[in-house]
Chain A
Amino acid sequence: MSVLRWIGLVGTSGKTPPNDAWSASSEKYFGFENFGNTCYCNSILQALYFCKPFRECVINFPNVSVGSTMPSISSQTQQSSNTNSTFSKKDPVNGDNKVNGDSNIASTQAIENTLFGALKDLFWKISIQKKRTGVLAPNNFVTKLKKENELFRSTMHQDAHEFLNYVLNAIAENVLEQQKKIAEAERLQREQLSSCNLSDKSKLTSNSASSQGSDDADEKSSKSSESNSGTSPQTTWVHQLFEGTLTNETKCLTCETVTSRDESFLDLSIDIEQNSSVSSCLRQFSASEMLCHKNKFFCDVCCGYQEAEKRMKIKKLPNVLALHLKRFKYQDKLQRYIKLSYRVVFPFELRLFNTCDDMEDPDRLYELYAICVHIGSGPYHGHYVTLVKSMGQWLLFDDENVDPVDEAEIQKYFGDSPGTGSGYVLFYQACDLDQNVNGLSNTIWTNNNVTSSSASSTELEALEANDSFVTDVSITANGTIDHDNNATNATVTNNVETRRHPMREPSFSDRLQLWKNSTEKRKSNSDQENGKEHNTTSKKDKKAEKEERKREKKLEKSKKLEKEKLEKEKEKLEKEKEKLEKEKLPTSPNEIQATI
């Protein structure tokens, strides 16, 4: 097994020894067994696994058991849905809220039956391995895949890009469904709440829980918690990571009216040219095109077919940019697809030239983290391997084999040397994604977390316990804010020193850790026992704080409308901070109300 080769030897053999961060990391590198032409699947799965935010989202996504009576307990969202069952049973089991990885093992029915469940299971299996390297058989996933989609059912060679596209969409669909179920559960729970409490107070609770102002818009509020960004009802973290927006501008040459139409994408397929670069291909992708002759444009203003100029620009850059190089082209003469062995160079860093002028950060910097390589001369046969950059070290994943690769070797995959293969799908990750992941995680879990905490607080009977809870929430809020500040500071320092995040990987993982800590903090804060511990330490302060809070309560009500607006603008870091403050602060008084 070649994986064993580099456990001890690599440090001494290579001219450029793998960097320390890599050798010291706790990352797991597992090859995947090939079940007969499933290399397309293996290579894409590796690329997805090493997209850290994606992996985190997959593994941490709650295993909700809606409809099952078993109270499962893997993360906050789950708690929120569970409180439903707990609540109905009138059985406050707070100890259950202690979160650990074990609950993942008992992945529940709802998810297990989906492709996403199989993926989650696989990712989770890799992450719990004790060894650093090895081989896993993704048979569950492949079985599920073949069951779900007949396209991949045959033992034929498949297109890796097609698979990527399918898998992202399928996962997004699964997750969306799941989120709907969670939302549904929340709605039920709130209904139950309102039946238990005075109607006025229940309004407050439900409002604060979903951060939506209007009472009658229960559905709307549930959507907001499922969509996170609150704008599109169809959004999941899959979209938040991979989705970008293209704008299709058509300028009628007769009346000069510009019509633009936006469309979203999960990956970009770009035409390639011989001896070009990826940036150039992207530029070409956005080059203006004349609509004339048979291909005229119907102008609504002129009410007729007119000559027009069409341009596709990127309006919103995705967090993870999956670039598909169209190496397989249909040849009319031959009546089949042929492979273009063009030399297309791709840099380790990338900024896009084909962005809209008025967008937020047109100079967003991306870093290459994975390359899916096709080896072979045609689309119907050949082999896929994936090159992945993990903790600053490049690795070649070839089915069950994993080997470290020198960065200088990457140029072999530019496409013109027939034996080594050619870059086919490139995965670029935004360098500022680490900051946004915080936002992402917050938006994913905050809403649900708030719901859960408010729900669990309703179960509290003693005022003392309530006390402690309130204080804890405020601590959490502060903690989160601090954390955000840290992130900003860290970024600034990085910028000053090298401007390019030379420690990108470590800092990223650091922040991930921070992020995990903060979420865990929140988890533990919703935990009653923990709260009591805190309570003993500084009881007086907390009581004073509680008084203040009650006074603030009235103010909060008036600010509610403002809050709603803020809720929708979650993208900027500063705003996020504000949001966190405002989101956290109001919950506590409301909770008090709910329990009184």
Chain B
Amino acid sequence: MAVPAIEYFLLAEGQYTLRETIFLEIGAPNLASGTLVSIVSVKYKEYPAHPTTPTTEDVTAIDPLGENVSSNPTTPLTENTLEVDLDEPTELEKTLPYQQQLQTEQVTQNVDLLNSNLSSAQNTPSLSKPLTSNGSIPTSIEGKNDDMFSFLTQNVIKRKKTKNNLTKTTSSFVAKIIQNDNLTKILANRQNEDTYLFFNSGRTFCWVDLTNKPKDPLSKINFTKAHPICHDVNQLTRSCDHLDVIIGFSSGDIIWFDPLCNKYYRLNKQGIINSSSVTMVKWVPGSENLFMASYQDGSVIIYDKEKDDQNFSPATTNEEDGFRVARPSKNGKHNPVSYWQVSKKAVTAFAFSPDCQHVATVSIDGFLRIIDFKQETLFDTYSSYFGGFSCVCWSPDGKYILTGGQDDLVTIWAFREQRIVARCQGHQSWVTGVSFDPWRCDERNYRFGSVGEDTKLLLWDFSVNALHKPKSAGSHRRASLASQSHVTTVLRRNLVEREMIKNTIHPCLPRSEVAILQPVMDKSIDGDPLCSLTFREDSIITTCRKGHIKIWARP
């Protein structure tokens, strides 16, 4: 279908213009999952830190010389309450997880004591070991404490694992790597700040320099047996000589890859832990080694990049389809670190809350599940209007969650209030990507965007006060739905404390009872169904199934 190429779109704040289209000519794009991007910015000189950038991506890079790190362990200790307050993100965000990990080890302790706990845990990790029976990320993290904090002071040198050199590999999994002829030269000539973009297309994984010559890839890796599906760059460990990239494959394999050293290591080799397709991988925010992967079979697995695989088969219980956690490795020396059976059908996406306390997972069975990451328990379950969910994200302040899916709707959920806020109607097909625009969000008003199979980019402005409820609910007629909501209210009333509410299941509310939001911008921006959308400080990046990556410059 020849769709006229859209070059710009207009909004109240001005015109967004297409700055760049990156497209890698390859034989067969993987239409089932499409192209996704991971972006990382690396700095080479100390910049004046811009303190209000809310995404982790733009946090000042860890300086390889260790100049920047001293502040990290000391700053966050005031931020320890369960009440999420994220008006001051960035640095704090990054370091928060450390204490939270510690905090869960000390679940029984008061928050007031955390300060001392932290120090004790830091100094003598063995102290906290007996307490892990409370659940949470197990022994492995404990063992990591040492590692992590030593990293912060001693830097990156302490790598345990020997990795395989990618150029000299004999693996049948990797077909070949094509590096830019001038790669060493380019890397040597880097100045102040570079932004790298990684993307997958077909069986190729590609690395480009977004700031300078995005059309000229720095390297391309072709894989033989499986499609790379998803990837993520560790924002914590990035540096000018080292990047931790993980790539999830359709075969279930995961590759930990360092493009700068040109080394890689393969995890879940030949699906020894899980052989279904990886649907999403993400580094656990603030962790150097841990990452999370969701699978087509409905499981979510936490891996440690430094650990070896161990043959693992989760106990199969057919009668129970609830949330289950398995921690297979007793001594914490092997992967998987933790194994969650979340859903019976594919988990399509997940997202960490900004404070890293919770993980929101969405799956093809049409449920949004919010999991307490530290306790590893199911906190909330919401149902789609109909059909499966395909994407999820948190608002920068952690108050709201967005989902998109097969009901053609973007749905806004209030996390703390535990309710549906609004359904956003405007897409003409399934919604494939949602994201908040943190640069256009404040305490009251939120800007977010969504992309869908309808090739459209939609932008929305949302503020709770401006939402108008639909005409009064004629709920008396909707017997089935009404009775459901009644049951839930009873359930909720009985449970006094929030902590006690384990997995409240929220029914699907009828159309007449949920507010509807209309988009502020609605434009078809590509000829093919879109896959993802990423907001950057200076641009919006969209990708499509065929592999077009479009960068839209902000006004």
Identify the A interface with B (CB < 8 A): 15-16, 20, 273-277, 279-280, 343, 345, 347-351, 353, 357, 360-363, 365-366, 407-408, 411, 417, 432, 491-492, 495-500, 502
Contacts and interface: CB of A to CB of B under 8 A. Distances in A.
Contacts of A361: 477-478, 480
B428 A349 contact: no
A192 B296 CA distance: 68
Nearest to A411: B32
Nearest to A498: B505
Given A279-B408, A361-B477, A496-B487, A16 B383 contact: no
A98 B453 CA distance: 58
A347 B385 CA distance: 12
B48 to A, nearest CB: 45
A239 B454 CA distance: 35
Contacts of B483: 492, 495
B478 A347 contact: no
A437 B370 CA distance: 36
B482 to A, nearest CB: 11
Contacts of A502: 321, 344
A273 B428 contact: yes
B430 A499 contact: no
A408 B477 CA distance: 36
Contacts of A363: 478, 481, 508, 510-511
Given A16-B297, A276-B429, A362-B511, A500 B388 contact: no
Contact of A275 (B387, B408, B454): B454
Contacts of A365: 386
A259 to B, nearest CB: 24
Given A362-B511, A365-B386, A275 B529 contact: yes
22 contacts: A15-B275, A16-B276, A273-B428, A275-B429, A280-B427, A280-B428, A345-B406, A347-B386, A347-B430, A348-B388, A350-B387, A357-B512, A360-B477, A361-B478, A362-B510, A363-B478, A363-B508, A407-B345, A411-B32, A495-B484, A495-B487, A496-B484
A350 B386 contact: yes
Contact of B318 (A20, A279, A348, A366): A20
A417 B32 CA distance: 11
Given A343-B453, A351-B407, A499-B484, A276 B428 contact: yes
Which residue of B296, B321, B346, B430 has the most chain A CB atoms within 10 A of its CB atom?
A: B430
A345 B484 contact: no
B5 interface: no
Contacts of B508: 363, 499
B248 interface: no
B500 interface: no
Contacts of A279: 407-408
B529 A351 contact: no
Contacts of A20: 318
A357 B474 CA distance: 10
A347 B406 contact: yes
The 4 closest A-B pairs by CB, nearest first: A347-B387, A347-B406, A280-B428, A277-B429
Contact of A277 (B276, B428, B528): B428
A499 B408 contact: no
Contacts of A496: 484, 487, 505
Contacts of B478: 361, 363
Contacts of B510: 362-363
A432 B385 CA distance: 16
Interface in B402-427: 406-408, 427
A492 B510 CA distance: 17
B113 interface: no
A349 B484 contact: no
B201 interface: no
A453 B57 CA distance: 78
B366 A349 contact: yes
B428 A408 contact: no
A350 B366 CA distance: 11
Given A350-B387, A361-B478, 6 more contacts: A275-B529, A280-B429, A343-B529, A362-B512, A411-B32, A499-B383
Contacts of A432: 480
B505 A499 contact: yes
Nearest to A416: B31
Nearest to A358: B474
Contacts of B345: 407
A496 B504 CA distance: 10
A579 to B, nearest CB: 17
B453 to A, nearest CB: 6
B312 to A, nearest CB: 16
Contacts of B505: 496-499
Interface string B418-448: 0000000001111000000000000000000
Interface string B16-54: 000000000000000110000000000000000000000
A16 to B, nearest CB: 7
A596 to B, nearest CB: 44
B213 to A, nearest CB: 32
Interface in B450-487: 453-455, 477-478, 480-481, 483-484, 487
A366 B346 CA distance: 21
Interface in B284-324: 296-297, 318, 321
Contacts of A280: 408, 427-429, 454
A343 B483 CA distance: 38
Given A15-B276, A280-B454, A363-B481, A500 B408 contact: no
Given A363-B511, A495-B507, A500-B366, A348 B387 contact: yes
B486 to A, nearest CB: 10
B157 interface: no
Contacts of B344: 502
Contact of A349 (B386, B427, B529): B386
Contacts of B321: 498, 502
A301 B545 CA distance: 53
Contact of A499 (B276, B428, B429, B507): B507
A315 to B, nearest CB: 14
Given A277-B408, A351-B385, A408 B529 contact: no
A122 B478 CA distance: 39
A417 B28 CA distance: 13
Contacts of A417: 31
B1 interface: yes
Contacts of A350: 386-387
A426 to B, nearest CB: 13
Given A276-B428, A347-B388, A408 B346 contact: yes
Contacts of B32: 411
Contacts of A495: 480, 483-484, 487, 507
Given A345-B406, A349-B366, A350-B386, A275 B453 contact: yes
B530 to A, nearest CB: 10
Contacts of B385: 351
A274 B1 contact: yes
A273 B428 CA distance: 9
Nearest to B524: A275
A571 to B, nearest CB: 12
Contacts of B484: 495-496, 499
A496 B427 CA distance: 31
A363 B507 CA distance: 13
Contacts of A362: 510-512
